[in-house]
Chains A and B, each alone.
Chain A
């Protein structure tokens, strides 16, 4: 069964460092998303991406965040200068089109120390 895969599963980084979280969406999907879940809190939308550009972003997705689809398979989230409050589980998701269900990856746990 096709699935969304994310790497790494856990990343520890020092405050102020840049991190790149990687995702391989399901191959025939066209819409890609990043969500995050701070420990004990709800899953929150960060950004959606279609046709090589951002479709929508939340207020959380400020200038320190960026997304990219560098090739035909990967979808990345970059955090330029990490803060302690960026510590969370980051989920990548993809959907076949704008109105079908999103399938989530297993997540990358980011710990900023």
Chain B
């Protein structure tokens, strides 16, 4: 079983739709959960960051973590064409390395929001 699994898509939605992106993980040591957005041939850009179960909202974006199920989600409300990108989930385990927060990424979900 892969440490982090993410449906690669592609996912195509109409403008204004609610988008749900998901990742599952197998390593119970993961305590920090992130969503990155990556445009083509660019570096990942952090969207959301959380370390607790529950929901965290930031504008049109909501991150949801369920540690008991080892499942995280990113919801995008009122999706816009500018949201078209690849969305990467990433996770890290606190204190595992003794220094630094090695991130383990999912494969990314490619999202296209159509006019």
Count of chain B residues with a beta carbon within 8 Å of a chain A beta carbon: 26
Contact check: which of B34, B43, B102, B107 meets A91 at CB < 8 Å? B43
Q: Does B27 contact A (CB under 8 A)?
A: no
Contact A102 B99 (CB under 8 A): no
Query: B4 — nearest CB in chain A belongs to which residue?
Result: A42
- With a cutoff of 8 Å between Cβ atoms, the chain B residues found around residue A106 in the complex are 42-43
* Residue with the highest number of chain A CB atoms closer than 10 Å, among B43, B103, B106: B43
A98 in contact with B43 given A42-B106, A42-B107 (CB within 8 Å): no
Q: Which residues 74-113 of A sit at the B interface, judged by CB distance below 8 A?
A: 89, 91, 95, 98-107, 109
Contact check: which of A4, A35, A42, A55 meets B100 at CB < 8 Å? A55
What's the nearest-Cβ distance from chain A to residue B8, in Å? 9
A56 in contact with B45 given A45-B102, A101-B34 (CB within 8 Å): no
- With a cutoff of 8 Å between Cβ atoms, the chain B residues found around residue A42 in the complex are 88, 105-108
Q: Which residues 18-59 of A sit at the B interface, judged by CB distance below 8 A?
A: 31, 33, 35, 41-45, 48-51, 55-56
**Alpha-carbon distance between A56 and B98 when the two chains are bound, in angstroms:** 8
Q: Which residues 72-108 of B sit at the A interface, judged by CB distance below 8 A?
A: 88, 90, 94-95, 97-108
- With a cutoff of 8 Å between Cβ atoms, the chain A residues found around residue B107 in the complex are 41-42
What's the nearest-Cβ distance from chain B to residue A45, in Å? 5
Contact B106 A101 (CB under 8 A): no
Q: A48-B101, A100-B101 are in contact. List 13 more A-B contacts (CB 8 A).
A: A4-B43, A33-B100, A43-B44, A50-B99, A56-B99, A98-B100, A98-B101, A99-B32, A101-B34, A103-B46, A104-B43, A104-B44, A106-B42
Q: Which residues of A contact B (CB under 8 A)?
A: 4, 31, 33, 35, 41-45, 48-51, 55-56, 89, 91, 95, 98-107, 109
Q: List 17 A-B contacts (CB under 8 A).
A: A31-B99, A33-B102, A42-B105, A43-B103, A48-B101, A50-B99, A55-B97, A56-B98, A56-B100, A98-B99, A99-B32, A102-B101, A102-B103, A106-B42, A106-B43, A107-B42, A107-B43
